[in-house]
Structure 1
Amino acid sequence: MRRILVMSLLAALALGTTPARGEDATQVESKGKLVLLLDSSGSMKESSGGTTKIAAAKAALEDVVSQLPDNAQVGVRVFGAKVFSAKDKGACTDTQNVVPVGPVDRQGISKAIAGYKPYGETPIGNALKGAAKDLGAEGKRTIVLLSDGEPTCAPDPCKVAKNLRSQGIDLKINVVGLDVSGKARSALQCIARAGGGTYYGVNDPDDLASSLVSVSVRALRQFTLSGKPVVGGTSTADPLKLEPGRYTDTTQGKATSRYYSIAKPKNSDLVVSAVARPPYDSGTSNKLEVELLTADGQRCEADYAIRPNVLQDQSILSVGAIFSSRLPSTNDVCEAATSLLARVGLDALAQDPFELLVSTRPNIKDFATLPPALTSQQVRAAEGATFVPAGRPTPVVGGITFNDAPALKPGRYRDTLRPGEQLIYRIPASWGQRPRIRATLETDVQGAKELSMPGILAEVTMIAPTLHSLGRTGPNGGNFWDGERPVTLTGEGYELRARNIESTTTSIRAVSAAGDQYAVLSMAQPLGGDGSHFAAPVTISVDVVGKVTGEPAYAGKVKGAGEAVKKTADDSEEGSSVPWLPLGIGAAVVLLVAAGYALGRRGRPAA
């Protein structure tokens, strides 16, 4: 219970993520604030799963404290801690702020947790009012309520939560119910629903920690872009010179580009990748592209990704363009050039940030003796190989950027996925190896209650080390989930081979540079009036196939953001990407499919 409680708390936090150490970072989401609202009523001393509820809560909360982002704004409030009985004066206003909201004070929070004891009544309504005041009137604000019982005092906390939301306050209330059922569970679910948040039910004390981590820390993190801030040129005539490395820049607005000049050492490959997550705008689509050009404007290589926004997600866009003399068709002018221009276009509002990664790979001395490039037939055949997950699932919290994605070794894991969410996992794989993933969305009572047929769309896409997306690679990369029955999504990485650069297929060429591959687990926003106050339980199975073999002998050192740096991508088989949909479907078809989906949904028949 302790593990699941921690994950639940971490997912509920809505603040920020810590930038990669040693690097500058550009934050693209505003900072938020969080209050942990803790039930100190007498029922917390009851036994649950071989321990007391209060002991499980304290241990879980300590795990949460250890994982809070360094730039978090966090406070702690308790209720039911001072007045013993409902007959005593002040029982229904018994709530105290024990750690003011401010820069994370791990020592102060730990001290408050140590003094957290079961004692009085359950005045959740007034405690919510107090927590809202603690958070102030500005910015994104989140309350994480941990409770084991039914409210015992007026005002009705469900009405309080609804009232706070109706005031236009940017506030979300997530709730973790500890070993509750019946009326108590219904009351806590109502608070989460009215507060625009998610309810997490925990029945086993051993699972409590992972739930609190999930509900608290995940939402505290912010999407960030890391790198040295630069300002690229505005035309081919004034490019900014860049060395291999990691950078951040901003757009000038729609239909504009930034230009950079990058040296191309003789007989070396040049890799230029970009990552962005523009704000969701229902009226537009977004496009990110990288184009490698000669000084006089001849195209040498390009890659692009499109987000049509019809399914209301805010997924990451990423691209990776590679120029190599070993490409199946090369331009002599491009090959002879000692430098190339990189044009980055992000079709989004002015001042939207993006991350730029530049690396060079020297000549490979033993290239001819290495395993040949994969064929499309080999890729398809590998997808049908038997996949046997093993072991007991351990809790994990998926990343929201490629810089904070957790590394998953072969085994089984447990996480949750919410509407509109995109979780990223890193799968380490070396030369000659191929990562695989299975993500099973399990049954969920709340999800089944809020979704109509056919359910909500979810998918798994795989990302190459160069940030190019392999798209939906498994036999069931995307499907609808309705909460009533489990759905297993599949993702298949490609075997890493240096000679993949010779392939005529863009996605195979993208897996020619050393580095981890990524799995991106996504869920759309509900359409057709369905609810969104649920978190789908997910069981994740990971395998890495093959022995380490075929490591190339480079004639020099890989430079820049290549081998040792985590990266991202989100585009398709031949250089374009439409998140949520199978490869090869154009944006116009996407719009028609989405429109038909929204209009054609029907309610589930009554039992």
Structure 2
Amino acid sequence: MSTQAGATAGDGTGRRGRTAARTRKAAALLTAAAAVGTLTALPAGAAEEAPLPAYAFDPAGQRIQGAASSADADVLEPGKTYRDTLKKDGKVYYRLNLDTTKNSYVSAVAVPKPGGKAQYGDGFRIEIQDGTGTQCGYQDVNFATGDHVRPLAGYARRIVHPDETGCQDAGTYYVVVERESDATSSPDDWELELQHVTEPLLRKNGPDKLPESWPSGTPAPPVGKPEVREGGAGFHTAVSLKEGEWRADIRPGQTLFWRVPVDWGQQLFATAELGSSNAGDDLVSNALALALDNPARGFVDLQTVSYTGKPATAALPPQRPVAHANRTSSETATRSLQVAGWYYLTATLSPEMAEEYGDTPLPLILRVTLRGEKKPAPDYDGDPGIFQVTGADRDAAASGASGAAAADGNTLMVALAAGGIGLGTVLLVGLGAWTLVARRAAGS
């Protein structure tokens, strides 16, 4: 039974039921007004019986159908999220209407059916092309470890810059998503979550050369008693983290999502340690995968570690500080560290762990370190949108709010500001209503 089901199981239909419902409604009002994101983990016993949580798609995602030909492609609007389905060996097209005032990034998150089998190299390519078929940008992402499936994220970009030779005109462009699968891989359809975001250009283009030297050493990880931060079930519900040591429980076949705000000039270091087990000592290759994706959901890096019942750690290698000039690099990881904002960490536990160690949660310790002082943002000719770190982002990282909860909180604050109502007023009104309802319930 899920925590949601448990919370609603006691509803009544009589007077007491209605009173209890009003009490819960008032409490919900206070919770929304405070805009504090909280997560409740399932007890270990309940987790063993429950199915794995499904991938948490953005509920605002609009259903769309990729076309077999570019001539029939539907438009992906900037700032919106979409849902689609990708068949085995499928190839689909979407349309972009682009001008010359912004850079564009289109991402795809492929969500295979849990429990499916994959061969080494299975995955997809996402590409942006102009009307002549010229490639503007692409990314290939795959199950580097093979054996089993997990959510895959990748993006393509179209950059407007005087030094670029192609894809510089305003007009119609196309996004192509093509799936590659071995004949022995699971034939199930993949669900797709698509997102189109834009980035303003610089007011004045400066030197784009990358510095030859950069701090490539690995700092000592944070130590201390880990604080519980269960991961989310998708990019939309990724749980916010700041620098520190964090604890979660992860089941075989499960993928957990977190996000960390990384500002200009900062470096992100992360390790994921899978705790020991007394259930056995058999080797499971590539038991734990730790992946990093950028704010536009572009792939940065992936590391795996095998497991024999003893503690095992997957560590992301050192990467350059986040910088606008990184986009000129030919190296995938460096090129993906071109924008500030929320960087996503995902941990996946191989379903093969269930065969050797049982289908029970194992403890996971996530250690996150941020190094480097914040540097001034590029001189953008407009609002950078998601490509920045705000005070609200740092608050979310400190509180552990999920991306969805933080977005709901921002919506509430905007509504309050537009109405000229202060949060304190809402809290006082809500507290008064809650107290009144509680007193009436006690009198009954």
Residue in 2 that maps onto 1:241: 75
Assess, with a 3 A threshold, how the Cα gap between structure 1 residues 493 and 397 changes in structure 2: closer, same or farther.
farther
Q: 1:412 to 1:481 in 2, by over 3 A?
A: same
**Aligned residues of 2:252 and 2:354 also touching (Cα < 8 A):** no
Post-superposition offset of 1:416? 1.9
Asked whether the 8 Å contact 1:364–1:554 carries over to 2, the reply is yes
Task: Tell me the residue number matched to 2:418.
Answer: none
Q: What is the Cα deviation at residue 273 of structure 1?
A: 0.8
Q: TM-score, normalized by length of structure 1?
A: 0.52
Which of 363, 370, 374 is matched with 2:201 structurally? 363
Q: Shift in Å at residue 395 of structure 1?
A: 0.8
Whose relative contact order is higher, 1 or 2, with alpha carbons under 8 Å and at least 6 apart? 2
Q: 2:282 aligns with which of 452, 458, 480?
A: 452
Alpha-carbon distance between aligned partners in 2 of 1:372 and 1:550, rounded to the nearest angstrom: 18
Please give the alpha-carbon distance, in whole angstroms, between the structure 1 residues aligned to 2:346 and 2:195: 20
Q: Do 2:160 and 2:201's aligned partners in 1 also have CA atoms closer than 8 Å?
A: no
**Superposed displacement of residue 455, structure 1:** 6.7
* Superposition pairs of residues 72-471 of structure 1, within 5 angstroms: 72=5, 212=43, 221-226=53-58, 227-251=61-85, 253-279=87-113, 280-282=115-117, 286-307=122-143, 310-312=146-148, 314-326=149-161, 330-332=164-166, 334-346=167-179, 352-368=190-206, 373=210, 378=214, 382=216, 384-446=217-279, 449=280, 451-453=281-283, 457-471=287-301
The 2-side partners of 1:290 and 1:398 are apart by: 27
Partners of 1:232 and 1:249 within 8 A in 2:
no
Matched, 1:534 2:360: yes
Is the contact between residue 246 and residue 355 of structure 1 (CA under 8 Å) also seen in structure 2? no
Q: Describe the shift of the 1:421–1:286 C-alpha distance in structure 2 as closer, same or farther (beyond 3 A).
A: same
1:470 Cα deviation (Å)?
A: 1.9
CA contact (8 A) 2:104 2:157 kept: yes
Shift of 1:288: 2.4
**Which amino acid in 1 is paired with 2:196?**
V
Q: Deviations over 1:321-365 (max 9, x none)?
A: 11213497x433x22343311122345868643111112222212
> 1:270 deviation in Å?
1.6
Equivalents in 1 of 2:54, 2:153: separation in Å? Answer: 18
Q: Distance in 1 between matches of 2:51 and 2:236?
A: 16
C-alpha displacement at 1:267, in angstroms?
4.7
State the distance in 1 between where 2:139 and 2:206 align.
27
Read off the aligned partner of 1:356 and give its amino acid letter. Answer: L
For the residues of structure 2 that align with 1:244 and 1:321, how far apart are their CA atoms? 14
Q: Secondary structure of the residue that 2:206 maps to in structure 1? A: helix
- Write the distance in 1 (CA, Å) between the matches of 2:162 and 2:282: 49
Residue 498 of structure 1: aligned partner? 324
| AA at the equivalent of 2:210 | A
Q: Secondary structure at the match of 2:269?
A: strand
> 1:288–1:444: structure 2 CA closer, same or farther, 3 Å change rule?
same
Instruction: Give the structure 1 partner of residue 314 of structure 2.
Output: 489
Per the normalisation by structure 2, the TM-score is: 0.69
Q: Give the match for residue 514 of structure 1.
A: 340
Kindly report which structure 2 residues correspond to 1:8-27, keeping only aligned pairs within 5 A, or say none: none
The 3 A distance-change label for structure 1 pair 283 and 244 is closer
Contact 2:93/2:176 (8 A) holds in 1: yes
CA shift for structure 1 position 268: 2.7
TM superposition shift of 1:290? 1.4
Q: Deviations over 1:388-445 (max 9, x none)?
A: 4133211111122111111111111111222222222111111111121222222222
Q: For the Cα contact (< 8 Å) 1:366–1:552, is it kept in 2?
A: no
Q: Could you tell me how far apart the structure 2 residues matched to 1:417 and 1:106 are?
A: 38
SS in 1 for 2:262: coil
| Preserved CA contact (<8 Å) 1:305 1:319 | yes
For residues 214 and 499 of structure 1, what CA distance do their matches in structure 2 show? 50
Distance 2:109 2:221 in 1: 34
CA contact (8 A) 1:361 1:558 kept: yes
Deviation track 1:217-247 (CA, whole Å, cap 9, x = no partner) reads 9967431322222233331212222320223
Inter-partner Cα distance in structure 1 for 2:233 and 2:362: 17
Displacement of 1:529 after TM fit?
A: 5.4
Distance 1:264 1:75, change over 3 A: closer
Query: Where in structure 2 are the equivalents of 1:562-581 lying within 5 Å?
Result: none
Instruction: Confirm or deny: 8 A CA contact 1:373 1:497 kept in the other structure.
Output: no
- Distance change (3 Å), C-alpha of 1:321 and 1:327: farther
- Identify the residue that residue 440 of structure 2 maps to in structure 1: none
* Contact kept in structure 2, 1:443 and 1:483, CA below 8 Å: yes
SS across alignment from 2:325:
helix
Q: Which amino acid counterpart does residue 487 of structure 1 have in structure 2?
A: A
Gap change, CA 1:224 and 1:433, over 3 Å in 2: same
Secondary structure of 2:147 counterpart: coil
Contact between 1:225 and 1:248, CA under 8 Å: does it hold in 2?
Answer: no
**Which residue does 1:26 correspond to in 2?**
none
Query: Which residue is 2:349 aligned to?
Result: 523
Change (3 A) 1:286 1:557: same
* C-alpha contact (below 8 Å) 2:124/2:141 kept by paired residues: yes
What residue identity is the alignment partner of 2:177? V
CA RMSD of aligned residues (A): 3.8
5+ residue gaps, structure 1, are 1-33, 36-64, 77-97, 112-208, 568-607
Alpha-carbon distance between aligned partners in 2 of 1:339 and 1:73, rounded to the nearest angstrom:
50
Larger displacement relative to structure 2 (416-425 or 282-291): 282-291
- Which structure 2 segments of 5+ residues have no match? 13-17, 25-39, 182-186, 394-402, 405-444
Please tell me whether Structure 1 or Structure 2 has the larger radius of gyration of its CA atoms: 1
Take 1:260 and 1:74, find their aligned partners in 2: how far apart are those partners?
42
SS of equivalent residue, structure 1 residue 237: helix
Q: Conserved in 1, the CA contact under 8 Å of 2:284 and 2:308? A: yes
2:367 maps to amino acid: S
Asked whether the 8 Å contact 1:325–1:335 carries over to 2, the reply is yes
Whether 2:371 is the aligned partner of 1:545: answer yes
The 3-state SS of whatever aligns with 1:251 is strand
| Partner amino acid, structure 2, of 1:340 | Y
In 2, Cα distance between equivalents of 1:257 and 1:321: 15
Contact conserved, 1:362 with 1:557, CA < 8 A, in 2?
yes
Deviations 1:292-329 (A, max 9, x none): 111122222211222378422x311111111213497x
Distance 1:318 1:528, change over 3 A: closer
